[in-house]
Amino acid sequence: MDIVLQQLVNGLTLGSVYGLIAIGYTMVYGIIGMINFAHGDVYMVSAYITAIALALLTFFGIESFPIILVGTLFLTVAVTGAYGWVIERIAYRPLRSSSRLSVLISAIGMSLILQNYVQLSQGANQQGVPTLLTGALRFHVGDGFVQITYMKLLILFISILGMGVLTYVIQKTKLGRMCRATQQDRKMASILGIDTDKVISTVFVIGAVMAALAGVLVTLDYGAFDFYVGFIIGIKAFTAAVLGGIGSLPGAMLGGLILGLSEALFAGLISSDYKDVFSFSLLVLILIIRPSGLLGKPEVEKV
């Protein structure tokens, strides 16, 4: 029983990270109907920026963890958001009226550019940051115990907070209404006076910001990263977005949690060697039953 509960805790933490990154995929697809395959590498860039921000704050003699955390989050979110804006301007906007294949090739090219840019500038070796937040809560269950580290609690808290703030922005603010209007009918939104180019750029920035949150949290928790780390977690987050229903914000969150929980439970109870096989098999099964994903809306053919 304690093993199951421990894996549930691990799965919730992992799933919340997948959900944060999946939001970037699903928001971009919801607005322009295309997949930003460079999004995983934006997460990778945020991991390096996290390390650089930590080094800068330490250089200036800051030792308080709350100040380091806030400062690192602020610097990483700001710089990564700028990366998201640049990617939209360079890789997507010039090709917006082109075929989807052209945009797909451009996105893959941007992904390779980011990987090689980081590899050349930061080196190919694995990088790392020291553990800044130690300690854990332990709950005795039968003959065993369930442990959740303070860092995992922080990941859950910031992930839930970030998703909550984003949901409020999309549902209750003027920016959110413009995003939803652009998603439903870009031409009509433009006729009504909405600057759709600005909205699309903002969506790319929001997606990059959510990836930056995940990058900071995971880097502080695991400590190690390299220039290729964005590919694997990007594929997992994209899977979460498809699982929940690509284009659906709640679906991205739900898909991330389901994927994280399924991975953790399978790894803890059966075998960690085949956890990815199980996760993708679950995705295939769900898509066979619901091709649009769990919360996705089925596409209606226009006559």
pLDDT single digits (tens) 155-192: 999 999 998 999 899 889 999 999 989 988 888 999 98
Q: What's the mean pLDDT when you consider all of the chain? A: 88
For residue 237, is it within any domain?
yes
- Give the pLDDT confidence score for residue 301 in this predicted structure: 47
Report the alpha-carbon distance of residue 112 to residue 139 in Å, rounded.
45
For residue 46, is it within any domain?
yes
Start-to-end CA distance of the chain, whole Å, equals 55
Question: What is the number of structural domains in the chain?
Answer: 1
For residue 297, is it within any domain?
no
pTM of the model: 0.91
DSSP 8-state secondary structure symbol assigned to residue 91: I
**Full domain range(s) for residue 89:** 2-289
Nearest of 102, 111, 210 to residue 158 by alpha carbon: 210
* Per-residue pLDDT band at 303 (split at 50, 70, 90): very low
Percent of the chain with pLDDT over 90: 45
Residue 124 has pLDDT above 80, yes or no: yes
Distances (CA, A) of 127 to 20, 96, 118, 197, 279: 23, 36, 12, 37, 28
For residue 302, is it within any domain?
no
Count, residues in the chain: 303
For residue 298, is it within any domain?
no
Residue 43 has pLDDT above 90, yes or no: yes
Q: CB count, 10 Å around CB of 33? A: 13
Q: Are 151 and 12 in contact (CB under 8 A)?
A: no
Per-residue pLDDT, averaged over 46-52, amounts to 94
Task: Provide the CATH number for the domain around residue 204.
Answer: 1.10.3470
Burial classification of residue 197, based on how many CB atoms lie within 10 Å of its CB (0-12 exposed, 13-18 middle, 19 or more buried): middle
For residue 300, is it within any domain?
no
Per-residue pLDDT, averaged over 133-156, amounts to 86
Percent of the chain with pLDDT over 70: 98
Residue 1 has pLDDT above 70, yes or no: no
For residue 186, is it within any domain?
yes
For residue 295, is it within any domain?
no
Helices (H), the chain: 2-32, 39-59, 65-87, 100-122, 150-172, 174-184, 186-191, 196-222, 229-244, 249-269, 275-289
- Give the pLDDT confidence score for residue 140 in this predicted structure: 79
* Per-residue pLDDT band at 302 (split at 50, 70, 90): very low
Per-residue pLDDT, averaged over 4-32, amounts to 90
